[in-house]
């Protein structure tokens, strides 16, 4: 009788050893770090202004 497939998955899930390819802890990462970059904020501000101008044009002039 073959072993249940969930037993193999459960045994692998219990392995909590750290891999050697883990990123260093002092490296900043995540969405908040990306949003703190000035070129991205300038780009998002320009796109937001263009969308606002298009919406105001549609509401007030058409």
What would the pLDDT profile of 4-40 be if each residue is shown by its tens digit?
Answer: 555 555 555 555 666 666 666 676 667 777 777 888 8
Distances (CA, A) of 50 to 10, 53, 58, 61, 62: 52, 5, 12, 16, 17
Kindly tell me if the per-residue pLDDT of 62 is higher than 70: yes
Coil, helix or strand for 18?
coil
13-46: b (≥16 Cβ within 10 Å) or e: eeeeeeeeeeeeeeeeeeeeeeeeeeeeeeeeee
Instruction: Note the helical H segments in the chain.
Output: 5-13, 31-35, 38-60
Res 37: pLDDT: 83
Segment 43-58 mean pLDDT: 96
């Amino acid at each position: 009788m073959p072993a249940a497939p969930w037993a193999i998955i459960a045994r692998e899930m219990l392995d909590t050893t750290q891999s050697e390819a883990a990123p260093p802890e002092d490296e900043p990462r995540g969405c908040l770090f990306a949003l703190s970059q000035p070129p991205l904020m300038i780009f998002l501000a320009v796109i937001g202004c263009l969308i606002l101008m298009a919406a105001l044009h549609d509401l007030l002039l058409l």
